[in-house]
A and B are shown apart, each in its own frame.
Chain A
Amino acid sequence: MKVLVTVKRVIDPYVKVRVKSDGTGVETANVKMAMNPFCEIAVEQAVRMKEAGIVTEIVAVSVGTMQSQETLRTAMAMGADRGILVEVAGEVQPLAVAKLVKAIVDKEQPKLVIMGKQAIDDDSNQAGQMTAALLGWPQSAFTSAIAVNGDTADVTREIDGGLEKLTIKLPAVVTTDLRLNEPRYVTLPNIMKAKKKPLEVLKPEALGVDVALRLKTVKVEEPAKRSAGVKVADVAELVGKLKNEARVI
């Protein structure tokens, strides 16, 4: 079966973001970028399913600027067979992303779509569930295990108190959680091979999708800072402070 995976280019999760002084957003110029960690887990899952003989073709899709081609190349170096970039110059919000992914799914007809549960830049946690809704497909959000059995899949989802098990009909949309797998590192030979894999660039208009922003960002600010704390010398002093100063125990 064919699988579609989505990947997003985000600020590297280990970089400390800075709010722009004009309050319009965060600084992205000259900042290290990377594939969103949950998208890496999505690609890894698709590649493992291909290695296990369940999947025959992996199509990686990204929505973003022309630089997102690099992220697609990384997905192809991990094992995706080809890439599709929907080029959008500026901000694009999750509902528009879901509409674009749906349009590509309509063309490509995959049996499974694997997406990251959340992008670590805007922390929306929406696109996967929205894509499932627009397609009228079942969803498994925050997934930690997938087993495909013909026309259904048994999935395990991370929920607040533990785990939940569902059987979903295929085709379906799955979003990845942390424990689904541990993504591989890309190797140099695979990076070289990925350069030769096909990468198509489309515009939202070609897919008939309106990407106009529904949410207007009024301003972006630094969060409130905590006041500086104090170092204690030992456990006795710590317990004393908690009892007498903070009065929390």
Chain B
Amino acid sequence: MSVLVIAEHDGKLLKPGTTNTVTAAAKIGGDIVVLVAGHQCADAAQAAAKIAGVSKVLLADSPLYAGGAAENLTALIQMVAAQYSHILAPATGYGKNFMPRLSALLDVQQISDISAVVSADTFIRPIYAGNAMATVQSTDKIKVITVRATGFDAAAESGSATVENLAAGPDTGLAKFNGQELSKSDRPELTAARIIVSGGRGMGSGENFKILEALADKLGAAVGASRAAVDSGYVPNDYQVGQTGKIVAPELYIAVGISGAIQHLAGMKDSKVIIAINKDPEAPIFAVADYWLVEDLFKAVPEFTTAL
């Protein structure tokens, strides 16, 4: 058995999720090879070589892979896929984009968003927004899998794998990358943060998120939001925590003005400690909270910030 892990990176560093995916690969067993595909990404390949348990890193450095568009990336992976029993990527916006395309090219039914490895062909994955856990067994020759990072610890950085160059694959010419507009923030990334402060519809406006930002900055936390807050236009979609947004499991999750819709709980209920502040004593969020405070958030949040 040999497992190929597709690394998510920004050219220099690996994105959170990649090392957790390597841990999932280690649970499956066999040799672990990491593919770093991108443009000017040799540093990321060196970072991948340091992950414990990795035997080899393949570096495909070409303008064809700038931005990670799915068409050319999957054409590349397809060329090497037959050498592996399993192909894994983090179940992030990056992995979720190209893995199903790869899977169909290989005529394989992908296994999405696994949270545990039972055996080399059997995995556990959440369905219905995490309200049920399905154990599924794959009958396909190659297992194509996306990995929920919160289900696995990050692998250590004690490895020293070799880096080999992998020649670029074909240019499909199907899509042209015109750039990214990344949210600029000095705060940690949601999926990597130790503490997250999230706001919901109860915030009332985007302007009011400033009180959460002040609290987040005191705590060194990331700022997130519920789908309701995104739908209402208070904050951009990349803030969204939930079934259709990001899945997080920080040490501390602070839910402010969030009622606790099923789809939001799906994204945060594996957090270690959850606190909820809501003026509605019946808010469903309290059912998953370790500590809850029934109070007007516009009073409680500034008080909280001052108390730290």
Q: Which of B30-38, B40-48, B130-138 contacts A (4 or more CB under 8 A)?
A: B130-138
Interface residues on A, range: 35 or more
Min CB distance B107 to A, Å, is 7
The answer on a CB contact under 8 Å between A249 and B252 is: yes
Q: Which of B82-100 contact A (CB under 8 A)?
A: 92-94, 96-100
Interface stretch among B19-27, B55-63, B155-163, B176-184? B176-184
Given A120-B129, A121-B127, A216-B139, decide whether A235 and B293 contact each other with a Cβ distance below 8 A.
yes
- Once A162-B181, A215-B139 are accepted as A-B contacts, the answer to whether A229 and B111 lie under 8 Å apart by CB is no
Q: Which residues of A contact B172 (CB under 8 A)?
A: 138
Instruction: Name A71-114 residues within 8 Å CB distance of B.
Output: 93-95, 98
B154 within 8 A of A: no
Quick check: A179 and B230 within 8 Å, CB to CB?
yes
Decide yes or no whether A169 CB sits under 8 A from chain B. Answer: yes
- How many residue-residue contacts, CB under 8 A, span A and B? 261
Interface of A is mostly: mixed
Please state if A235 and B292 are interface contacts (CB–CB under 8 Å).
no
Identity of the chain B residue whose Cβ is nearest the Cβ of A216 in the assembled complex: B137
Q: Which of A45-53, A186-194, A197-205, A238-246 contacts B (4 or more CB under 8 A)?
A: A238-246
- From known contacts A26-B132, A142-B97, infer whether A246 and B252 are also in contact, taking CB-CB under 8 Å: yes
- Interface flags for A214-245 (1: CB within 8 Å of B; 0: not) read 11111111110010011111111011011000
B294 at the binding interface (Cβ < 8 Å): yes
B257-291 residues at the A interface, CB under 8 angstroms: 262-263, 269, 272-275, 286-291
What chain B residues lie within 8 Å of A161 (beta carbons)?
180, 182-183, 189, 238
Chain B residues with Cβ below 8 Å from A140 are 175
Residue from A26, A95, A139, A178 within 8 A of B109 (CB atoms): A95
Q: Is residue B217 within 8 Å, beta carbon to beta carbon, of the partner chain?
A: no
Residues of B within 8 A of A159 (CB): 93-94, 180, 238
CB distance from A218 to the nearest CB of B (A): 4
